[in-house]
């Protein structure tokens, strides 16, 4: 096996997306042959070098798996255990591969979430250059007025940048769809709340051309090759 950059080797081994692997390296959580390495470009060989992440050895490149999950409320998109908080990966207890989510939904948001052990694939999906649309269904306490829709459409300040949704559409009384491409933390919640609406429920129903469909909440299934391709159409 040829040598690879450390961040790329970790992503190939299913540790996390390449960006997340770089963060682990910068945080001093990765060792190579017993030495803490903080340079993602360091060349390593998965077969010859002993690479550990947070004390656990990374064995080799795993068979890549790709899942669609209908995330239930109350679960966190993280692999770090904090107290009794439930993690999305807990739903995959029978899966032997080390899994992680592609991107995140906050604890109270439900819906379409991708779970994998392929860091390269995850990086393709979340990279801003892909400009992949994500569609959310929002149910609110109030009836939605034209003025509210206009305010949401104009955007709001999030993480120091002015963020506007790609599309906002009222479906019926108290229900709207919001399509975004930015991927900022809690951006849909902030956009809708800025419009003067109280959110009762928020669910992601589409990523690219991949739709959640009728998959029950809390259930997951494998992605097909055509579904993977539909993310980038």
- The pLDDT assigned to 91 comes to 94
Global confidence as pTM: 0.79
Pair of tokens at residue 73: 């409320």
Instruction: Please tell me the distance from the alpha carbon of residue 174 to that of residue 197, in angstroms, as a whole number.
Output: 9
Q: Where are the domains of the chain?
A: 4-58, 66-128+213-231, 133-207
Q: What is the CATH number of domain 133-207?
A: 3.30.70.1560
Per-residue pLDDT of the chain (233 residues; tens, 9 = 90+): 678 899 988 988 878 878 889 999 999 999 999 999 999 999 999 888 999 998 888 877 678 899 999 999 999 998 877 888 899 999 998 887 788 999 999 999 999 999 998 888 998 898 888 889 999 999 999 999 999 999 999 999 988 889 999 999 999 999 999 999 987 889 999 999 999 999 999 999 999 999 999 999 999 999 999 999 999 87
Active site residues: 106
The neighbour count for residue 103, using CB atoms within 10 Å, is 16
- The pLDDT assigned to 127 comes to 83
Long-range contacts of residues 76-84, Cβ cutoff 8 Å, at least 24 apart: 76/107, 77/101, 77/103, 77/104, 77/105, 77/106, 77/113, 78/104, 79/16
Instruction: Please tell me the distance from the alpha carbon of residue 206 to that of residue 184, in angstroms, as a whole number.
Output: 16
Instruction: Please tell me the distance from the alpha carbon of residue 121 to that of residue 11, in angstroms, as a whole number.
Output: 9
**Which neighbouring-strand residues pair with 51?**
32, 58
Q: Looking at domain 4-58, does it have CATH number 1.10.1370.30?
A: no
Q: What is 66-128+213-231's CATH number, 3.40.50.150, 3.40.50.10300, 3.30.70.580, 3.40.50.620?
A: 3.30.70.580
Element holding 154 (H helix, E strand): helix 146-154
Are 66-128+213-231 and 133-207 the same fold in CATH?
A: yes
- DSSP characters for 191-223? HHHHTT--EEEEEEEEETTEE-TTPPTT-EEEP
- The pLDDT assigned to 1 comes to 62
Query: How is residue 22 annotated by DSSP?
Result: H
- The pLDDT assigned to 19 comes to 83
- The pLDDT assigned to 26 comes to 94
Instruction: Please tell me the distance from the alpha carbon of residue 32 to that of residue 22, in angstroms, as a whole number.
Output: 14
């Amino acid at each position: 096996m040829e040598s690879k950059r450390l961040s790329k080797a970790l992503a190939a081994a299913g540790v996390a997306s390449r960006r997340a692997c770089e963060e682990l390296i910068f945080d001093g959580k990765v060792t190579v042959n017993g030495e803490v390495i903080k340079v993602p470009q360091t060349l390593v060989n998965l077969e010859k070098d002993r690479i550990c992440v947070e004390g656990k050895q990374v064995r080799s490149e795993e068979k890549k798996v790709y899942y669609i999950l209908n995330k239930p409320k109350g679960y966190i998109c993280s692999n770090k255990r904090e107290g009794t908080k439930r993690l999305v990966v807990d739903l995959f207890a029978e899966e032997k591969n080390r899994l992680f989510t592609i991107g995140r939904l906050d604890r109270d948001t439900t819906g379409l979430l991708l779970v994998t052990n392929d860091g390269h694939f995850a990086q393709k999906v979340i990279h801003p250059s892909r400009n992949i649309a994500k569609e959310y269904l929002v149910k609110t306490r109030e009836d939605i007025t034209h003025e509210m829709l206009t305010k949401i459409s104009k955007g709001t300040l999030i993480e120091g940048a002015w963020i506007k949704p790609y599309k906002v559409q009222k479906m019926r009384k108290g229900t709207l769809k919001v399509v975004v491409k930015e991927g900022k933390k809690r951006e849909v919640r902030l956009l809708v709340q800025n419009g003067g609406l109280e959110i009762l429920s928020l669910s992601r129903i589409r990523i690219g051309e991949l739709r959640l469909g009728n998959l029950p909440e809390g259930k997951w299934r494998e992605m097909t090759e055509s579904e993977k391709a539909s993310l980038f159409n």
